Chains A and B, each alone.
Chain A
Amino acid sequence: MTEAAQQELFDKKISADQCIEAKDWMPEDYRKTLIRQISQHAHSEVVGMLPEGNWITRAPSLRRKAVLLAKIQDEGGHGLYLYSAAETLGITRDELYDQLHTGKAKYSSIFNYPSLTWADMGAIGWLVDGAAIMNQVPLCRTSYGPYSRAMIRVCKEESFHQRQGYEIMYTLAKGTEMQKRMAQDALNRWWWPSLMMFGPPDSVSAHSEQSMQWKIKRISNDDLRQKFIDITVEQTKVLGLEVPDKDIKWNEERGHYDFGPINWDEFWNVVKGNGPCNKERLNTRKAAWDNGKWVRDAAMAYAEKKKAKKEEAVLETA
């Protein structure tokens, strides 16, 4: 088939809402966009384990500790589903890790903020996982089959993450005066970065338009952000806490909450590597990779030795 014919077939599949599968012909830019997006997503899951890992040993009860461990283990699993999906596009796992470690690939900026108190475990589950779910649900219908299947798996597991976070917030908000203050403080610190998780406004988003055409992305950044705000403001009322935005106001005409301006300078500053924890997060990942090298090598050497022995035994009996 000529390239033009293949392009035509690809376009036809996209407009008919058919999935593109790993070995199907696809435009080079589609492949590159997917590798960038899926790997960024995978890196976010893996780096996302770090702020919460900070609190495992200091969880206030055994129940909270078991739950936090299970949530963090899920995130590791989600990273692995997504790395596998990215690898179907012809990039290796080691190359993906290398891109993370050299700073060539990004991960979600939210994880460059520190988790200062136990209430942050509540705010992260409720807001950060909540925003992630809002982003991820439409991705279950993304045009690339392996990515879509990974997202379906992730979304099934993610709902407990948000609920456990909200439960932590609710418990604190209904607790002592000090606990309530702690919950409010966590909400104050995580609110704005959570809104930034939906990415820059549609008017300046570099990759949005093409990704929408390719049906990789199905709903725009601004629409998802608005949906998140509408839902979350109501949930905040149930907690008896206050959203740290004096401009939050129900707009009858639009049928949505109005909200104040987002500090995009802060967002770009963190993306560029100047957030409070960028260096720490990356160094932790690099150290884990470097310090694990001897384990990976030893496992491979052991597997090869066992295989060689087995082959030898077969030869002797022959």
Chain B
Amino acid sequence: MSAETNRNEWPLWEVFIRSKAGLDHKHAGSLHAADAQMALENARDVYTRRMEGVSIWVVESKHIHASSPDDAEAFFEPANDKIYRHPTFYNLPDEVKYM
């Protein structure tokens, strides 16, 4: 964030929306609001004007911890050489069905 951040600026919130029952909440974007209630109402008006959601989560952006893109390679490396975690790794005779 910039050094000139205005102290009066409403905090930033991240918005997550469940588009219909049975699906995960998915990040939709962000917005500014004074408190959680206002954030929910603003999220409804900004991100669900066409029935795009049945449930909304809001969380203040400052509470989100993220992995660092600079370390992404090393961070995700442990999974990189384990192709035996995928079903296609295994050789089975063609006559075996339903597996």
* Contact residues of A: prevailing secondary structure: helix
Contact of A25 among B45, B49, B70 (CB under 8 A): B70
- B5 closest partner in A (C-beta): A92
- Give the residues in chain B near A81, CB-CB below 8 Å: 29, 46
> How far is the CB of B72 from the nearest CB of chain A, in Å?
9
Contact A296 B66 (CB under 8 A): no
A237 at the interface (CB under 8 A from B): no
Size of chain B's interface in residues, with CB distance under 8 A?
24
Cα of A314 to Cα of B61 in the assembled complex, Å: 24
- Give the residues in chain A near B1, CB-CB below 8 Å: 90, 92
A-B contact pairs, 28 of them (CB 8 A): A25-B69, A25-B70, A70-B49, A74-B49, A77-B49, A80-B31, A80-B46, A81-B46, A85-B29, A87-B12, A87-B30, A90-B2, A91-B2, A92-B2, A92-B5, A92-B6, A92-B9, A94-B9, A95-B4, A149-B29, A150-B29, A153-B29, A296-B10, A299-B35, A299-B38, A300-B10, A303-B34, A307-B35
B residues contacting A by CB (< 8 A) are 1-2, 4-6, 8-10, 12, 29-32, 34-35, 38, 45-46, 49-50, 66, 68-70
> How far is the CB of B60 from the nearest CB of chain A, in Å?
11
Cα of A70 to Cα of B4 in the assembled complex, Å: 35
Cα of A21 to Cα of B68 in the assembled complex, Å: 11
A residues contacting B by CB (< 8 A) are 1, 21, 23-25, 70, 73-74, 77, 80-81, 84-85, 87, 90-95, 149-150, 153, 157, 296-297, 299-300, 302-303, 306-307
> How far is the CB of A181 from the nearest CB of chain B, in Å?
36
- When A and B form their complex, which 6 residue pairs have the shortest distance between CB atoms, in order from nearest? A303-B35, A299-B34, A303-B34, A94-B6, A84-B30, A24-B69
Cα of A21 to Cα of B32 in the assembled complex, Å: 21
> How far is the CB of A146 from the nearest CB of chain B, in Å?
8
> How far is the CB of A302 from the nearest CB of chain B, in Å?
7
Q: If A23-B68, A23-B69 touch, does A92 touch B4 (CB 8 Å cutoff)?
A: yes
Cα of A299 to Cα of B38 in the assembled complex, Å: 9
Cα of A307 to Cα of B34 in the assembled complex, Å: 11
Contact A93 B49 (CB under 8 A): no
- Give the residues in chain B near A300, CB-CB below 8 Å: 8, 10, 34
- B3 closest partner in A (C-beta): A92
